[in-house]
């Protein structure tokens, strides 16, 4: 549905390459998250998707058209197929909720009756049915974002772009807005591209995730695979920040990177689904007569599936420890739902 090809944006003067030959495909009906640190180029990227920002080079395909080749009139038409919401909502203060949502249709010349027919269901969908006549100043942050979502959906777009849509909201409101966006994705089959620096967003509604750094996409994957097997250092950092694993000071103090004589391996197990890893550990312990000391454990919901993050120390005879490790490693072949990594040693 969205396909970016060798997309590049250089800001003059100064020649800052905000986007550097980015290729990204977002299939129809999916939710794709783009994460990255501040200044990575995320906002510029998403603004290039509806040509709010004109790319310096490359192509922007949305619903079968390369937007960079369209003239003024065709581009206006194509943009009606792309809704957008922002961190700070961008509502018009002098207009009521109804009038804000109606605005895109009014601009497109809709009649009063057409407005009513389109706006009322959107207010219901976004939980604002009783706020018709309220002004933005009378609404909470979450309600304002609901108005912005309703307005973005007014022209019945196939694509919704979200730039840090929940970054100004508290955690509870964030969850409610994410759940609304997930609902919209499923019910209206809208393709969503979400820019965010929050892993909460990625965990809760994204199917795929891409990481941006210095204008480039350095890693891209299905969200479970991303959590299971992050490849770049930045991806690993994001995954760690999304789980509630914290280095325990007592363990950290005796942690060593190299296996000195008599040291026991500390193994990090990541897995999708419940009941995946417990049998493995039990079997390894029985078969090789080793003990597993659980140092940390966390279960997170990622894309509606349970994912576990477990840190264990393997104790026993050196040969038995090695066999247990081999056994666990054998379970974590490519494409498997378990990943096993020795992250250090303790003695």
Ligand X SMILES: Nc1ncnc2c1ncn2[C@@H]1O[C@H](COP(=O)(O)OP(=O)(O)O)[C@@H](O)[C@H]1O
173 within 8 A of 142, measured Cβ to Cβ: yes
CB of 210 vs ligand X, minimal distance in Å: 12
Between residues 15 and 64, which has the closer beta carbon with respect to ligand X? 15
Q: Quick check: 67 binds ligand X (CB under 6 A)? A: no
The DSSP secondary structure of 73-120, one letter per residue, reads: HHHHHHHTTEEEEETT----TTS-HHHHHHHHHHHTT--HHHHHHHHH
Total of residues contacting ligand X (CB under 6 A): 11
**Which one of 39, 127, 141, 182 is in contact with ligand X (CB under 6 A)?**
39
Q: In the structure encoding, which two tokens stand for residue 274, read together?
A: 């419940």
CB of 27 vs ligand X, minimal distance in Å: 23
Stretch that binds Mg ion, among 42-50, 100-108, 311-319, 332-340 (CB under 5 A): 42-50
Q: How far, rounded to the nearest angstrom, does the alpha carbon of residue 284 sit from its chain's CA centroid?
A: 35
Question: Using CA atoms in the order 220, 49, 17, 35, what is the torsion angle rounded to 10 degrees?
Answer: -40
Q: Quick check: 44 binds Mg ion (CB under 5 A)? A: no
The entry of ligand X, Mg ion, none near residue 189 (CB within 5 to 8 angstroms by kind) is: none
Q: Quick check: 54 binds ligand X (CB under 6 A)? A: no
Work out the angle at residue 125's Cα, subtended by the Cα atoms of residues 122 and 131, and round it to the nearest 5 degrees: 70
Between residues 160 and 320, which has the closer beta carbon with respect to ligand X? 160
DSSP state of 240: H
Between residues 15 and 262, which has the closer beta carbon with respect to ligand X? 15
Stretch that binds ligand X, among 32-40, 84-92, 290-298, 333-341 (CB under 6 A): 32-40
Between residues 38 and 172, which has the closer beta carbon with respect to ligand X? 38
Q: Quick check: 41 binds ligand X (CB under 6 A)? A: yes
The entry of Mg ion, ligand X, none near residue 16 (CB within 5 to 8 angstroms by kind) is: ligand X
Q: Which residues of 314-325 are buried (b: 16+ CB within 10 A; e: fewer)?
A: bbbeeebbebbb
CB of 160 vs ligand X, minimal distance in Å: 18
**Which one of 40, 78, 209, 311 is in contact with ligand X (CB under 6 A)?**
40
Which of positions 68-97 make contact with Mg ion (CB under 5 A)?
none
Stretch that binds Mg ion, among 39-47, 108-116, 252-260, 263-271 (CB under 5 A): 39-47
Q: Where are the alpha helices (DSSP H) in the chain?
A: 42-49, 72-79, 97-107, 112-125, 141-153, 171-188, 199-205, 223-228, 233-242, 249-253, 278-288, 318-331
Between residues 16 and 248, which has the closer beta carbon with respect to ligand X? 16
Please list, in sequence order, all residues whose beta carbon lies within 8 angstroms of the beta carbon of residue 100, skipping any fewer than 6 positions away.
91, 92, 136, 147, 151
Angstrom distance (rounded) from CA 184 to CA 179:
9
Give the footprint of ligand X on this chain (CB under 6 A): 11, 16, 18, 36, 38-44
């Amino acid at each position: 549905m969205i396909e970016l090809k060798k997309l590049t944006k250089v800001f003059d003067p100064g020649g800052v390459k905000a986007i550097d030959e980015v290729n990204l495909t977002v299939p129809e009906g999916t939710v794709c998250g783009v994460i990255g640190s501040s200044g990575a180029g995320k906002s510029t990227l998403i603004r290039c998707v509806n040509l709010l920002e004109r790319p310096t080079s490359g192509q922007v395909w949305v619903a079968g058209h390369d937007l960079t080749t369209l003239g003024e009139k065709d581009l206006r038409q194509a943009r009606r197929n792309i809704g957008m919401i922002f961190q700070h909502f961008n509502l018009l203060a002098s207009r009521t909720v109804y009038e804000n949502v109606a605005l895109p249709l009014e601009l497109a010349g809709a009649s009063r009756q057409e407005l009513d027919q389109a706006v009322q269901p959107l207010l219901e969908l976004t939980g604002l049915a009783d706020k018709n006549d309220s002004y933005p100043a009378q609404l909470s942050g979450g309600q304002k974002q609901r108005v912005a979502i309703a307005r973005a959906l007014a022209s019945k777009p196939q694509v919704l772009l979200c730039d840090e849509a929940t970054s100004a909201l508290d955690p509870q409101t964030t969850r409610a807005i994410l759940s609304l966006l997930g609902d919209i994705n499923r019910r209206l089959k809208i393709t969503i591209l979400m820019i965010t620096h929050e892993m909460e967003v990625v965990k809760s509604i994204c199917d795929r995730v891409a990481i941006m750094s210095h204008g480039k996409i350095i890693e891209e994957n299905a969200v479970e695979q991303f959590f299971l097997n992050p490849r770049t250092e930045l991806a690993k950092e994001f995954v760690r920040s999304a789980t509630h694993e914290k280095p325990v000071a007592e363990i950290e103090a005796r942690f060593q990177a190299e296996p000195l004589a008599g040291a026991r391996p500390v193994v990090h197990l990541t897995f999708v689904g419940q009941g995946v890893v417990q049998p493995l550990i039990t079997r390894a312990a029985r078969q090789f007569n080793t003990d597993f000391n659980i140092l940390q454990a966390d279960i997170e919901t990622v894309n509606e599936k349970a994912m576990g993050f477990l840190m264990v120390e393997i104790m026993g005879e050196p040969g038995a420890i090695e066999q247990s490790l081999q056994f666990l490693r054998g379970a974590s072949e490519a494409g498997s739902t378990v990943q096993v990594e020795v992250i250090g040693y303790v003695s």
